[in-house]
Amino acid sequence: MANLVKIAARNLFRYKRRTLLTLSLIVLGVLFVTGFVAVTGSFKGMMIGQITDSFVGHMQIHRKGYLAAIDTLPLTMNLKPQAVKKVEAVLEEMPEIEAYSKRIKFGGMFSNFTETTNIRLNGVDPEEEAKTVPLLLSRVLGGDKILKKGEIFVPELLAKGMKVKVGDMVVVIATNRDGSVNGKQLRVGAILESATGPGGRDGYVHMDDAVDILRMEHPEISEIAVRVKDFTKLHEVFAVLSGSLSGEVNKEGKPVFDVHTWEKLSPFYNIARMIDMMTLFVKIMLVAIVLISIMNVMVMAVYERVREIGTIAAIGTLPRKILAMFLLEGFLMGAIGAIIGSLLSVAGITALNAAQIPFDFGRQTGLILAPTIDPAALLTVSGIVIGVAVLASLQPALKAARMDPIEALGHV
């Protein structure tokens, strides 16, 4: 086999300029694809991280139908304490779950005593929330990062519009599920930087304050945000959790709970899918580049070596070996291109990281582009290149293997 590889390598470099030109095309293709995958992948990963870790969480559990009506934040669709206990029991049993946070979501009026405006609020247990969405604390612009009872974290835009700052007293007024209105004075504990996506401009109050304002006897939870230990296993955990909760049905025999991953909760998922689609098209372009360039080289190689093929066939080389010899040439070309391309990609990605290129996304500014390429992705791209290279060599190789030795020997 080593000798066959040696012969194939020599055949490849028989026409140096042509082989180098083809190799450079493949290398450029690999560079482009891996660069694209690295940059878009890191952008996607960063944005998903920002969204899930800032406010959405990896998954959310609601009462069935709540999500469809979330724009009105219906208090009538909150989970009763018993239902919450059932969910908590399931979550506690799952070792894959890192943390979860119960939220009471409600809409109200926000007043600085001279002006009043609308506000969407989350009543949370600060510790639970910090564990479930750890980047929330990084959004705290001023004030104490720990939300205390009697305090409110005001979203940045609202704070600017209402001219409130940390330490100011404000009033939050809300209507409870029975229609009665209640209000509570709260101190501005911190200003919260906005984040992209729904819920990214919500304020936060302590769970006990939410219970007070809404005059609840017990906390009635709107949603439970869940964080998993290993994000790469999110869908497996989701399947288990959904399965565990699907057994809970109401009197009509319908499921009580809805479980959703972040994909169903954030419109960024559509952008992420678009990025995936673009990556797929870029990969298809790479396949086309490799296919056309290698097929061209191999067709020429067979055409130029007809007499040689006739000679090796005449001296007893089996057709399958002739096939293998030409496939090996294609394989080598693909492998060399993939290896050089991958090495240059890694160098390029390292250089991009060293350059610390800043970019903005939505209201988030000064993000640093940190492209990374998963070794598995690099292997996938290399595998595609090598596979396509072999595939592109197949037709010319078959032609060589099926050549009639007499005709080939007589070729001029």
Residues that bind other proteins (CB under 8 A): 3-4, 7, 10-11, 14, 307-308, 310-321, 325, 405-406, 409
The least CB distance from residue 315 to other proteins, in Å, is: 5
Residues 6+ apart with CB under 8 A from 187: 150, 151, 152, 167, 168, 169, 170
**Angle at Cα 163 formed by Cα 367 and Cα 146, nearest 5°?**
60
**Nearer residue to other proteins within complex by CB, 128 or 308:** 308
**Nearer residue to other proteins within complex by CB, 284 or 406:** 406
The least CB distance from residue 406 to other proteins, in Å, is: 5
Interhelix angle 319-355/306-314, nearest 10 degrees: 130
**Nearer residue to other proteins within complex by CB, 10 or 363:** 10
The least CB distance from residue 3 to other proteins, in Å, is: 5
The least CB distance from residue 410 to other proteins, in Å, is: 9
Interstrand relation of 116-124 and 203-206 (parallel, antiparallel or unpaired): parallel
The least CB distance from residue 12 to other proteins, in Å, is: 10
Handedness of CA 398, 401, 407, 412 (dihedral sign): positive
The least CB distance from residue 411 to other proteins, in Å, is: 11
The least CB distance from residue 6 to other proteins, in Å, is: 9
Helices (H), 122-256: 126-132, 156-162, 207-213, 234-246
**Nearer residue to other proteins within complex by CB, 156 or 308:** 308
In the three-class reduction of DSSP (H, G, I as helix; E, B as strand; rest coil), residue 252 is classed as coil
The least CB distance from residue 397 to other proteins, in Å, is: 15
Tokens for 219, please give them: 């906390």
Q: How many CA atoms lie within 13 A of 271 on its CB side?
A: 17
**Nearer residue to other proteins within complex by CB, 6 or 165:** 6
**Nearer residue to other proteins within complex by CB, 236 or 404:** 404
Q: Which amino acid is at 22?
A: T
**Nearer residue to other proteins within complex by CB, 164 or 313:** 313
**Nearer residue to other proteins within complex by CB, 9 or 335:** 9
For residue 406, give the nearest of 310, 301, 326 by alpha carbon: 310
Buried b (16+ CB within 10 A) or exposed e, 252-290: eeebbbbbbbbbebbebbeebeebeeebeebbeebbebb
Burial class (CB in 10 A: 0-12, 13-18, 19+), 24: middle
CA distances from 137 to 168, 204, 241, 379 (A): 20, 12, 27, 37
| Alpha carbon distance 345, 36 (integer Å) | 10
